Structure 1
Amino acid sequence: MTEPKSLIGAGRDTLEIIAFRLHGQEFCVTTTTIREIRGWSPSTPLPHAPSDVLGVMNLRGSVIPIIDLARKLGMAATAPNERSAIVVAEVHGMVLGLLVDQVSDILTVRGDEIQPVPEIATSFDRGFSDGIITHEDSMICFLNLARMFPPGDINGLAA
């Protein structure tokens, strides 16, 4: 499954998103990429795995990689606890688990509610984000999993 090309300013077309927290910040992805949400359970570490790969877990007979999404985004590693969740997503035909601090909400947003990521510095990689959504008293960074996990990188995660 792939994420929409660009929803910024797409008028009144709506899409469903799942919002979650990482280190006190709100992020979201489209629900079309999500297979399920699971509670935290430890994964089996892989030797010499990238720093954002926590390990692998058995999901109904399939071994899937578990990614610390905070580390993937350049933040400090997540310390899993009882509120942590694994968001199981399908990206480029591969299933993977994303460790998040907690799932916040499932929302329906209009395309005209998604604003472009501001240009803040030339070194900032905006490729992981499709925009910013203002919701109530918070702002939610809309992530693009297809760009975060290019096909070549994903194939290297398979156990």
Structure 2
Amino acid sequence: MTETNEETARQVLEFRLDGEAYCVSIDYVTEIVDMGDLTPIPNAPRHVKGVMDLRGETTAIIDPKVRLDLDGTVGDRIIIFDSAVFDDERSVGWAVDSVREVARVAPESVDDPPVERDHVRSIVKRDDGFVIWVDPGEMDAAGSKAAPAAD
């Protein structure tokens, strides 16, 4: 991503899911941690992989691959989001395959998505391909409507 005037550029955290590049606004992210021991939640929706203790706080671990209809196993890095992103102020983390970098995004490299989806904010153009910019609050809201896991 191109370095630009700091006042017009936005910062994003890039990560990988099933070999593809995604990003979220760095403003939403509080930290990145390794996957810890998860406790499964009975009858939880498929995208909820369980909870883990993160410094005394119960944190729900979500698999964004489920919401994005991607294949693959649950990732081993966790992006922890600011609780203000979610309507009910809970602690949530996404299990991702890897975290690439914090990068600046110039406004001219951002396009509207070709298909309207609430959770896809934009498409970021790069020399080596595209990065899908997702909105964690919207993705969680849509994911919370998913049916519970089958017995």
Say whether the fold is shared (TM-score over 0.5). Answer: yes
Give the alignment partner of residue 63 of structure 1, picking from 40, 43, 58.
Answer: 58
CA contact (8 A) 2:74 2:95 kept: no
Counterpart of 1:157 in structure 2 is: none
Q: What is the CA-CA distance between 1:51 and the residue it aligns to?
A: 0.4
Q: What is the CA-CA distance between 1:136 and the residue it aligns to?
A: 2.7
Counterpart of 2:117 in structure 1 is: 126
SS in 2 for 1:43: coil
How far, CA to CA, are the matches of 2:129 and 2:39 in structure 1? 35
Give the alignment partner of residue 96 of structure 2, picking from 87, 96, 100.
Answer: 100
**2:14 is aligned with what amino acid?**
A
CA contact (8 A) 1:78 1:100 kept: no
Counterpart of 2:69 in structure 1 is: 74
Counterpart of 1:40 in structure 2 is: 35
How far, CA to CA, are the matches of 1:21 and 1:115 in structure 2? 20
Structure 2 stretches lacking a partner, 5+ long: 1-6, 146-151
Size of the aligned set, in residue pairs, is 135
CA contact (8 A) 1:68 1:78 kept: no
Give the alignment partner of residue 113 of structure 1, picking from 97, 109, 112.
Answer: 109
SS in 2 for 1:70: helix
**1:111 is aligned with what amino acid?**
P
CA contact (8 A) 2:57 2:91 kept: no
| TM norm structure 2 | 0.81
| TM norm structure 1 | 0.77
1:97-151: CA deviations, max 9, x gaps?
10000001110112221101114xxxxx521111110123121000011211239
Percent identical pairs in the alignment equals: 28
CA contact (8 A) 1:71 1:78 kept: no
Q: Show structure 1 runs of 4+ deviating over 3 A.
A: none
Counterpart of 1:147 in structure 2 is: 138
